[in-house]
A and B are shown apart, each in its own frame.
Chain A
Protein backbone atom coordinates (compact mmCIF):
# COMPACT_ATOMS: atom_id res chain seq x y z
CA UNK A 1 0.00 0.00 0.00
CA UNK A 2 1.42 3.36 -0.95
CA UNK A 3 0.35 6.45 0.89
CA UNK A 4 2.28 9.57 0.29
CA UNK A 5 3.21 10.96 3.68
CA UNK A 6 3.97 14.64 3.78
CA UNK A 7 3.64 17.43 6.28
CA UNK A 8 -0.09 17.27 6.91
CA UNK A 9 -0.11 13.57 7.52
CA UNK A 10 2.73 13.58 10.00
CA UNK A 11 1.19 16.56 11.79
CA UNK A 12 -2.19 14.94 12.40
CA UNK A 13 -0.60 11.77 13.71
CA UNK A 14 1.53 13.68 16.18
CA UNK A 15 -1.43 15.83 17.22
CA UNK A 16 -3.42 12.72 18.07
CA UNK A 17 -0.51 11.33 20.06
CA UNK A 18 -0.20 14.57 21.98
CA UNK A 19 -3.90 14.44 22.81
CA UNK A 20 -3.62 10.93 24.23
CA UNK A 21 -0.44 11.85 26.01
CA UNK A 22 -2.10 14.72 27.86
CA UNK A 23 -5.27 12.73 28.54
CA UNK A 24 -3.54 9.85 30.23
CA UNK A 25 -3.32 6.20 29.46
CA UNK A 26 -6.36 4.19 28.45
CA UNK A 27 -6.46 1.04 30.58
CA UNK A 28 -9.00 -1.74 31.18
CA UNK A 29 -9.16 -0.62 34.82
CA UNK A 30 -10.15 2.88 33.80
CA UNK A 31 -12.90 1.55 31.54
CA UNK A 32 -14.14 -0.62 34.40
CA UNK A 33 -14.20 2.37 36.75
CA UNK A 34 -16.17 4.45 34.29
CA UNK A 35 -18.64 1.63 33.79
CA UNK A 36 -19.15 1.17 37.52
CA UNK A 37 -19.10 4.74 38.61
CA UNK A 38 -20.93 6.70 35.90
CA UNK A 39 -24.19 4.85 35.17
CA UNK A 40 -26.19 7.95 34.30
CA UNK A 41 -23.52 9.22 31.96
CA UNK A 42 -23.44 5.82 30.28
CA UNK A 43 -27.24 5.90 30.01
CA UNK A 44 -27.09 9.21 28.23
CA UNK A 45 -24.36 8.06 25.86
CA UNK A 46 -26.11 4.77 25.11
CA UNK A 47 -29.39 6.55 24.41
CA UNK A 48 -27.80 9.01 22.02
CA UNK A 49 -25.84 6.23 20.33
CA UNK A 50 -28.82 3.86 19.97
CA UNK A 51 -26.54 1.16 21.28
CA UNK A 52 -27.17 -0.50 24.63
CA UNK A 53 -23.75 -1.74 25.69
CA UNK A 54 -22.51 -0.31 29.01
CA UNK A 55 -19.02 -1.69 28.61
CA UNK A 56 -18.59 -0.28 25.11
CA UNK A 57 -20.05 3.04 26.21
CA UNK A 58 -17.55 3.14 29.07
CA UNK A 59 -14.75 2.35 26.66
CA UNK A 60 -15.87 5.08 24.26
CA UNK A 61 -16.07 7.60 27.09
CA UNK A 62 -12.67 6.67 28.48
CA UNK A 63 -11.16 6.71 25.01
CA UNK A 64 -12.60 10.18 24.38
CA UNK A 65 -11.42 11.50 27.73
CA UNK A 66 -15.03 12.13 28.76
CA UNK A 67 -16.03 14.17 25.72
CA UNK A 68 -19.62 13.03 25.28
CA UNK A 69 -20.01 14.10 21.63
CA UNK A 70 -16.84 12.21 20.73
CA UNK A 71 -17.99 9.17 22.67
CA UNK A 72 -21.38 9.11 20.92
CA UNK A 73 -19.68 9.45 17.53
CA UNK A 74 -17.30 6.57 18.28
CA UNK A 75 -20.16 4.33 19.37
CA UNK A 76 -22.39 5.22 16.46
CA UNK A 77 -19.60 4.66 13.95
CA UNK A 78 -19.01 1.26 15.54
CA UNK A 79 -22.72 0.46 15.51
CA UNK A 80 -23.28 1.56 11.93
CA UNK A 81 -21.58 -1.45 10.39
CA UNK A 82 -22.64 -4.14 12.84
CA UNK A 83 -24.77 -6.87 11.28
CA UNK A 84 -28.35 -7.40 12.38
CA UNK A 85 -28.33 -10.89 13.83
CA UNK A 86 -31.84 -10.87 15.23
CA UNK A 87 -34.74 -8.65 16.19
CA UNK A 88 -35.97 -8.51 19.75
CA UNK A 89 -39.61 -9.15 20.51
CA UNK A 90 -41.70 -6.08 21.26
CA UNK A 91 -41.60 -5.16 24.94
CA UNK A 92 -44.92 -4.47 26.59
CA UNK A 93 -44.32 -1.46 28.80
CA UNK A 94 -46.66 -3.06 31.37
CA UNK A 95 -44.29 -5.98 31.72
CA UNK A 96 -41.25 -3.95 32.66
CA UNK A 97 -39.89 -3.88 36.18
CA UNK A 98 -40.58 -0.38 37.35
CA UNK A 99 -38.27 1.20 39.91
CA UNK A 100 -39.67 4.69 39.78
CA UNK A 101 -42.92 6.12 38.50
CA UNK A 102 -44.46 9.39 39.38
CA UNK A 103 -47.34 11.44 38.09
CA UNK A 104 -47.76 15.16 38.54
CA UNK A 105 -51.32 15.10 37.25
CA UNK A 106 -52.87 13.46 40.33
CA UNK A 107 -52.13 13.41 44.03
CA UNK A 108 -52.33 9.67 43.99
CA UNK A 109 -52.65 7.20 41.18
CA UNK A 110 -53.65 3.55 40.91
CA UNK A 111 -50.61 1.64 42.10
CA UNK A 112 -49.25 4.67 43.97
CA UNK A 113 -46.49 7.19 43.44
CA UNK A 114 -43.17 5.40 43.64
CA UNK A 115 -40.25 7.74 44.21
CA UNK A 116 -37.57 5.14 43.58
CA UNK A 117 -33.98 6.26 43.04
CA UNK A 118 -33.82 10.01 42.61
CA UNK A 119 -31.78 13.06 43.52
CA UNK A 120 -34.84 15.29 43.09
CA UNK A 121 -35.09 16.09 46.79
CA UNK A 122 -31.43 16.03 47.69
CA UNK A 123 -29.46 19.01 48.87
CA UNK A 124 -26.97 19.71 46.14
CA UNK A 125 -24.09 20.35 48.46
CA UNK A 126 -20.67 19.60 47.14
CA UNK A 127 -19.43 16.62 49.15
CA UNK A 128 -16.16 18.14 50.20
CA UNK A 129 -15.96 15.67 53.05
CA UNK A 130 -15.22 12.94 50.53
CA UNK A 131 -11.99 14.68 49.64
CA UNK A 132 -11.03 14.64 53.29
CA UNK A 133 -10.80 10.91 53.47
CA UNK A 134 -10.80 10.65 57.26
CA UNK A 135 -13.99 12.60 57.87
CA UNK A 136 -16.95 11.19 56.03
CA UNK A 137 -20.10 12.68 57.52
CA UNK A 138 -22.80 10.23 58.45
CA UNK A 139 -25.74 12.00 56.91
CA UNK A 140 -24.13 12.49 53.57
CA UNK A 141 -25.85 9.77 51.67
CA UNK A 142 -23.71 6.94 52.82
CA UNK A 143 -26.16 5.79 55.45
CA UNK A 144 -27.57 2.39 54.75
CA UNK A 145 -30.71 1.97 52.68
CA UNK A 146 -33.63 0.61 54.65
CA UNK A 147 -35.77 -2.01 53.01
CA UNK A 148 -39.53 -1.43 52.98
CA UNK A 149 -41.70 -3.70 55.10
CA UNK A 150 -43.29 -5.09 52.02
CA UNK A 151 -41.70 -5.25 48.60
CA UNK A 152 -43.40 -2.97 46.14
CA UNK A 153 -44.99 -4.50 43.06
CA UNK A 154 -42.92 -4.82 39.93
CA UNK A 155 -45.58 -3.58 37.57
CA UNK A 156 -48.00 -0.68 37.68
CA UNK A 157 -50.99 0.20 35.55
CA UNK A 158 -50.30 3.17 33.28
CA UNK A 159 -52.02 6.40 34.31
CA UNK A 160 -53.38 6.63 30.78
CA UNK A 161 -55.39 3.42 31.34
CA UNK A 162 -57.44 5.16 34.00
CA UNK A 163 -57.74 8.30 31.85
CA UNK A 164 -59.05 6.23 28.98
CA UNK A 165 -61.76 4.68 31.15
CA UNK A 166 -62.70 8.23 32.17
CA UNK A 167 -62.87 9.29 28.49
CA UNK A 168 -60.19 11.93 29.13
CA UNK A 169 -58.16 10.29 26.38
CA UNK A 170 -59.43 8.57 23.26
CA UNK A 171 -59.32 4.81 23.15
CA UNK A 172 -56.25 3.36 21.52
CA UNK A 173 -56.73 1.87 18.10
CA UNK A 174 -56.16 -1.80 18.41
CA UNK A 175 -53.23 -2.69 16.21
CA UNK A 176 -51.42 -5.91 15.66
CA UNK A 177 -47.85 -5.93 16.87
CA UNK A 178 -45.81 -5.30 13.74
CA UNK A 179 -43.08 -7.69 12.71
CA UNK A 180 -39.99 -6.07 14.31
CA UNK A 181 -37.92 -6.52 11.18
CA UNK A 182 -40.55 -4.59 9.21
CA UNK A 183 -40.43 -1.51 11.43
CA UNK A 184 -38.96 1.55 9.75
CA UNK A 185 -35.40 2.00 11.02
CA UNK A 186 -33.99 5.49 11.20
CA UNK A 187 -30.43 4.17 11.10
CA UNK A 188 -31.03 2.40 7.80
CA UNK A 189 -33.25 4.97 6.09
CA UNK A 190 -33.07 8.73 5.83
CA UNK A 191 -35.58 10.73 7.81
CA UNK A 192 -38.25 12.35 5.62
CA UNK A 193 -41.02 14.71 6.64
CA UNK A 194 -43.70 14.32 7.79
CA UNK A 195 -42.11 11.41 9.62
CA UNK A 196 -43.66 8.08 10.39
CA UNK A 197 -44.39 7.56 14.08
CA UNK A 198 -41.53 5.05 14.47
CA UNK A 199 -39.05 7.45 12.87
CA UNK A 200 -40.13 10.29 15.09
CA UNK A 201 -39.85 8.27 18.28
CA UNK A 202 -36.50 6.84 17.20
CA UNK A 203 -35.20 10.32 16.40
CA UNK A 204 -36.28 11.56 19.83
CA UNK A 205 -34.80 8.49 21.54
CA UNK A 206 -31.35 9.12 20.04
CA UNK A 207 -31.49 12.92 20.11
CA UNK A 208 -28.96 15.01 21.96
CA UNK A 209 -30.14 15.42 25.54
CA UNK A 210 -29.01 19.02 25.70
CA UNK A 211 -30.58 19.81 22.35
CA UNK A 212 -33.98 18.44 23.30
CA UNK A 213 -33.74 20.22 26.61
CA UNK A 214 -32.98 23.60 25.01
CA UNK A 215 -35.86 23.37 22.56
CA UNK A 216 -38.24 21.84 25.11
CA UNK A 217 -37.41 24.61 27.55
CA UNK A 218 -37.90 27.31 24.92
CA UNK A 219 -41.22 25.75 24.07
CA UNK A 220 -42.54 25.64 27.63
CA UNK A 221 -41.15 29.05 28.52
CA UNK A 222 -43.41 30.74 26.05
CA UNK A 223 -42.17 30.40 22.49
CA UNK A 224 -44.15 27.23 21.99
CA UNK A 225 -47.70 26.08 22.47
CA UNK A 226 -47.04 23.48 25.15
CA UNK A 227 -46.74 23.84 28.90
CA UNK A 228 -47.82 20.38 29.84
CA UNK A 229 -48.43 18.31 32.92
CA UNK A 230 -46.26 15.29 33.51
CA UNK A 231 -48.73 12.45 33.31
CA UNK A 232 -46.18 9.82 34.14
CA UNK A 233 -42.42 9.39 34.28
CA UNK A 234 -41.01 5.90 34.57
CA UNK A 235 -37.63 4.33 35.10
CA UNK A 236 -37.64 0.62 34.45
CA UNK A 237 -35.73 -2.50 33.63
CA UNK A 238 -36.95 -4.17 30.47
CA UNK A 239 -36.25 -7.77 29.62
CA UNK A 240 -35.05 -8.16 26.05
CA UNK A 241 -36.27 -11.37 24.51
CA UNK A 242 -35.37 -13.12 21.29
CA UNK A 243 -36.89 -16.01 19.45
CA UNK A 244 -34.50 -18.83 18.69
CA UNK A 245 -34.17 -18.94 14.89
CA UNK A 246 -34.46 -22.73 14.74
CA UNK A 247 -36.50 -23.92 17.69
CA UNK A 248 -38.66 -20.83 18.03
CA UNK A 249 -38.10 -20.85 21.77
CA UNK A 250 -38.29 -17.41 23.31
CA UNK A 251 -35.34 -16.63 25.53
CA UNK A 252 -34.05 -13.65 27.44
CA UNK A 253 -30.80 -11.94 26.53
CA UNK A 254 -30.79 -9.70 29.57
CA UNK A 255 -32.23 -6.61 31.13
CA UNK A 256 -31.72 -3.08 29.94
CA UNK A 257 -32.43 0.20 31.65
CA UNK A 258 -35.11 2.18 29.88
CA UNK A 259 -37.13 5.24 30.73
CA UNK A 260 -40.08 7.06 29.29
CA UNK A 261 -42.29 10.03 29.92
CA UNK A 262 -45.80 10.98 28.99
CA UNK A 263 -47.03 14.53 29.20
CA UNK A 264 -50.57 15.76 28.73
CA UNK A 265 -52.10 19.05 27.87
CA UNK A 266 -55.71 20.08 27.61
CA UNK A 267 -56.71 20.91 24.10
CA UNK A 268 -59.39 23.22 22.85
CA UNK A 269 -58.41 22.92 19.24
CA UNK A 270 -62.00 22.60 18.10
CA UNK A 271 -65.41 21.80 19.56
CA UNK A 272 -65.19 18.14 18.74
CA UNK A 273 -61.58 17.93 19.83
CA UNK A 274 -61.72 18.87 23.48
CA UNK A 275 -59.84 16.78 25.99
CA UNK A 276 -56.28 15.76 26.59
CA UNK A 277 -53.42 15.46 24.16
CA UNK A 278 -50.61 13.09 24.89
CA UNK A 279 -46.90 13.49 24.18
CA UNK A 280 -44.47 10.61 24.50
CA UNK A 281 -40.75 10.02 24.55
CA UNK A 282 -38.71 6.98 25.54
CA UNK A 283 -35.02 6.20 25.48
CA UNK A 284 -32.37 3.70 26.47
CA UNK A 285 -31.10 4.34 29.97
CA UNK A 286 -32.55 6.44 32.73
CA UNK A 287 -32.75 9.98 31.44
CA UNK A 288 -35.73 11.88 32.82
CA UNK A 289 -34.93 15.36 31.58
CA UNK A 290 -34.58 14.11 28.03
CA UNK A 291 -37.87 12.24 28.13
CA UNK A 292 -39.84 15.12 29.59
CA UNK A 293 -38.43 17.60 27.07
CA UNK A 294 -38.87 15.10 24.26
CA UNK A 295 -42.47 14.27 25.09
CA UNK A 296 -43.26 17.97 25.29
CA UNK A 297 -41.77 18.48 21.82
CA UNK A 298 -43.66 15.43 20.58
CA UNK A 299 -46.83 17.29 21.48
CA UNK A 300 -45.68 20.61 20.06
CA UNK A 301 -44.64 19.07 16.75
CA UNK A 302 -48.21 17.95 16.13
CA UNK A 303 -49.60 21.45 16.34
CA UNK A 304 -50.42 23.36 13.24
CA UNK A 305 -49.04 26.88 12.82
CA UNK A 306 -46.51 26.23 15.53
CA UNK A 307 -43.45 28.47 15.99
CA UNK A 308 -40.87 27.39 13.38
CA UNK A 309 -38.53 26.16 16.10
CA UNK A 310 -41.00 23.47 17.12
CA UNK A 311 -41.84 21.98 13.77
CA UNK A 312 -40.89 18.38 13.23
CA UNK A 313 -38.18 19.20 10.72
CA UNK A 314 -36.62 21.83 12.93
CA UNK A 315 -36.63 19.79 16.13
CA UNK A 316 -35.51 16.46 14.73
CA UNK A 317 -32.79 17.78 12.43
CA UNK A 318 -31.22 20.08 14.95
CA UNK A 319 -31.17 17.80 17.97
CA UNK A 320 -29.20 15.14 16.10
CA UNK A 321 -26.10 15.04 18.29
CA UNK A 322 -23.59 13.58 15.85
CA UNK A 323 -24.69 15.77 12.97
CA UNK A 324 -25.02 19.01 14.92
CA UNK A 325 -21.74 18.64 16.80
CA UNK A 326 -19.88 17.45 13.70
CA UNK A 327 -21.06 20.32 11.55
CA UNK A 328 -20.30 22.82 14.27
CA UNK A 329 -16.70 21.69 14.63
CA UNK A 330 -16.27 21.41 10.86
CA UNK A 331 -15.92 25.18 10.92
CA UNK A 332 -12.37 24.51 12.08
CA UNK A 333 -11.57 23.12 8.65
CA UNK A 334 -9.93 25.45 6.13
CA UNK A 335 -12.43 27.44 4.08
CA UNK A 336 -10.06 29.68 2.17
CA UNK A 337 -11.35 28.73 -1.28
CA UNK A 338 -14.95 29.61 -0.49
CA UNK A 339 -13.71 32.71 1.31
CA UNK A 340 -11.75 33.84 -1.75
CA UNK A 341 -14.73 33.15 -3.96
CA UNK A 342 -17.03 35.08 -1.66
CA UNK A 343 -14.67 38.03 -1.42
CA UNK A 344 -14.35 38.11 -5.20
CA UNK A 345 -18.10 38.37 -5.56
CA UNK A 346 -18.03 41.32 -3.17
CA UNK A 347 -15.13 43.21 -4.69
CA UNK A 348 -17.11 45.57 -6.89
CA UNK A 349 -19.65 46.08 -4.21
CA UNK A 350 -17.03 47.00 -1.65
CA UNK A 351 -15.20 49.40 -3.94
CA UNK A 352 -18.41 51.24 -4.47
CA UNK A 353 -18.76 52.09 -0.82
CA UNK A 354 -15.14 52.99 -0.18
CA UNK A 355 -14.26 49.75 1.53
CA UNK A 356 -11.20 49.08 -0.59
CA UNK A 357 -8.78 49.09 2.32
CA UNK A 358 -8.35 45.39 2.31
CA UNK A 359 -5.16 43.81 3.65
CA UNK A 360 -3.92 43.26 0.14
CA UNK A 361 -2.41 45.16 -2.71
CA UNK A 362 -4.15 43.03 -5.26
CA UNK A 363 -4.64 44.93 -8.47
CA UNK A 364 -7.85 43.12 -9.07
CA UNK A 365 -9.46 45.47 -6.60
CA UNK A 366 -8.58 48.43 -8.79
CA UNK A 367 -10.14 46.83 -11.78
CA UNK A 368 -13.59 46.96 -10.42
CA UNK A 369 -16.38 47.59 -12.79
CA UNK A 370 -18.53 49.66 -10.51
CA UNK A 371 -21.90 49.36 -12.10
CA UNK A 372 -23.45 50.03 -8.79
CA UNK A 373 -22.01 50.89 -5.41
CA UNK A 374 -23.14 48.22 -3.11
CA UNK A 375 -24.00 47.87 0.49
CA UNK A 376 -24.49 44.79 2.59
CA UNK A 377 -24.75 41.60 0.67
CA UNK A 378 -25.65 38.16 1.72
CA UNK A 379 -22.48 36.46 0.78
CA UNK A 380 -23.39 32.93 -0.05
CA UNK A 381 -20.93 30.32 0.93
CA UNK A 382 -21.81 27.16 2.71
CA UNK A 383 -20.95 28.78 5.98
CA UNK A 384 -22.52 32.14 5.34
CA UNK A 385 -19.47 34.30 6.07
CA UNK A 386 -20.49 37.88 5.96
CA UNK A 387 -17.39 39.97 6.43
CA UNK A 388 -18.72 43.38 5.56
CA UNK A 389 -21.97 43.69 7.38
CA UNK A 390 -20.56 46.81 8.99
CA UNK A 391 -21.06 48.89 5.87
CA UNK A 392 -24.72 48.12 5.78
CA UNK A 393 -26.20 51.23 7.29
CA UNK A 394 -24.00 53.94 5.83
CA UNK A 395 -24.28 52.59 2.33
CA UNK A 396 -28.02 52.34 2.34
CA UNK A 397 -28.52 55.92 1.19
CA UNK A 398 -26.05 55.57 -1.62
CA UNK A 399 -27.68 52.52 -3.01
CA UNK A 400 -31.04 54.23 -2.78
CA UNK A 401 -29.62 57.13 -4.76
CA UNK A 402 -28.42 54.72 -7.36
CA UNK A 403 -31.81 53.15 -7.53
CA UNK A 404 -33.74 56.34 -8.13
Chain B
Protein backbone atom coordinates (compact mmCIF):
# COMPACT_ATOMS: atom_id res chain seq x y z
CA UNK B 1 0.00 0.00 0.00
CA UNK B 2 1.41 3.33 -1.04
CA UNK B 3 0.18 6.91 -1.10
CA UNK B 4 -2.41 6.51 1.61
CA UNK B 5 -4.65 9.56 1.75
CA UNK B 6 -7.49 10.66 3.99
CA UNK B 7 -10.87 10.08 2.40
CA UNK B 8 -14.16 11.19 3.93
CA UNK B 9 -17.34 9.17 3.44
CA UNK B 10 -20.39 10.34 5.40
CA UNK B 11 -18.28 12.02 8.07
CA UNK B 12 -15.89 9.14 8.68
CA UNK B 13 -12.31 9.59 7.54
CA UNK B 14 -10.70 6.51 6.00
CA UNK B 15 -7.07 5.89 5.15
CA UNK B 16 -6.95 4.66 1.57
CA UNK B 17 -5.35 4.96 -1.86
CA UNK B 18 -7.14 7.07 -4.46
CA UNK B 19 -7.52 6.15 -8.11
CA UNK B 20 -6.23 8.24 -11.03
CA UNK B 21 -9.75 8.49 -12.34
CA UNK B 22 -11.00 9.84 -9.00
CA UNK B 23 -8.17 12.34 -8.71
CA UNK B 24 -8.71 13.55 -12.28
CA UNK B 25 -12.44 14.09 -11.86
CA UNK B 26 -13.71 17.58 -12.55
CA UNK B 27 -15.24 19.58 -9.74
CA UNK B 28 -18.72 20.72 -10.56
CA UNK B 29 -19.31 24.42 -11.09
CA UNK B 30 -22.63 26.16 -11.40
CA UNK B 31 -22.92 27.28 -15.03
CA UNK B 32 -23.02 31.06 -15.47
CA UNK B 33 -25.79 31.92 -17.96
CA UNK B 34 -23.88 35.07 -18.96
CA UNK B 35 -21.01 33.02 -20.31
CA UNK B 36 -21.48 31.41 -23.71
CA UNK B 37 -19.32 28.27 -23.93
CA UNK B 38 -18.66 26.09 -26.95
CA UNK B 39 -20.73 22.89 -26.64
CA UNK B 40 -18.61 20.95 -29.13
CA UNK B 41 -15.07 21.43 -30.50
CA UNK B 42 -15.17 23.12 -33.90
CA UNK B 43 -14.47 26.23 -35.92
CA UNK B 44 -15.97 29.73 -35.62
CA UNK B 45 -17.16 30.46 -39.14
CA UNK B 46 -18.89 33.77 -38.70
CA UNK B 47 -19.55 36.27 -35.90
CA UNK B 48 -22.62 38.53 -36.20
CA UNK B 49 -22.25 40.81 -33.15
CA UNK B 50 -19.80 43.33 -31.75
CA UNK B 51 -18.75 44.17 -28.21
CA UNK B 52 -21.11 46.70 -26.64
CA UNK B 53 -23.95 45.76 -29.00
CA UNK B 54 -27.46 45.25 -27.63
CA UNK B 55 -28.86 41.89 -28.71
CA UNK B 56 -32.34 40.40 -28.32
CA UNK B 57 -32.98 36.87 -27.09
CA UNK B 58 -32.94 34.34 -29.94
CA UNK B 59 -30.76 36.39 -32.29
CA UNK B 60 -27.76 34.62 -33.73
CA UNK B 61 -24.38 35.47 -32.17
CA UNK B 62 -22.13 33.34 -34.31
CA UNK B 63 -21.83 30.10 -36.24
CA UNK B 64 -19.81 27.26 -34.76
CA UNK B 65 -19.12 24.63 -37.38
CA UNK B 66 -18.53 21.12 -36.08
CA UNK B 67 -18.99 17.65 -37.61
CA UNK B 68 -19.97 19.37 -40.89
CA UNK B 69 -22.90 21.08 -39.18
CA UNK B 70 -23.20 24.84 -38.99
CA UNK B 71 -24.53 25.49 -35.49
CA UNK B 72 -26.19 28.84 -34.75
CA UNK B 73 -25.22 30.12 -31.31
CA UNK B 74 -28.25 32.04 -30.05
CA UNK B 75 -28.48 34.87 -27.54
CA UNK B 76 -30.11 33.26 -24.46
CA UNK B 77 -31.81 36.47 -23.23
CA UNK B 78 -31.91 40.20 -24.03
CA UNK B 79 -28.60 41.86 -23.15
CA UNK B 80 -25.41 43.62 -24.16
CA UNK B 81 -22.31 41.87 -25.46
CA UNK B 82 -19.52 42.46 -22.95
CA UNK B 83 -16.63 40.61 -24.53
CA UNK B 84 -16.00 38.33 -27.47
CA UNK B 85 -13.17 35.85 -26.92
CA UNK B 86 -13.06 34.29 -30.38
CA UNK B 87 -12.40 35.43 -33.94
CA UNK B 88 -13.72 34.20 -37.25
CA UNK B 89 -11.73 31.23 -38.47
CA UNK B 90 -10.41 30.05 -35.10
CA UNK B 91 -10.77 26.53 -33.83
CA UNK B 92 -12.25 26.14 -30.39
CA UNK B 93 -12.09 23.20 -28.00
CA UNK B 94 -15.13 22.00 -26.10
CA UNK B 95 -16.45 24.14 -23.21
CA UNK B 96 -14.33 27.16 -24.15
CA UNK B 97 -15.57 30.61 -23.15
CA UNK B 98 -16.54 32.24 -26.46
CA UNK B 99 -18.55 35.24 -25.41
CA UNK B 100 -19.61 37.12 -22.28
CA UNK B 101 -22.88 39.02 -21.77
CA UNK B 102 -23.22 42.05 -19.44
Q: Do A and B come from one complex?
A: no
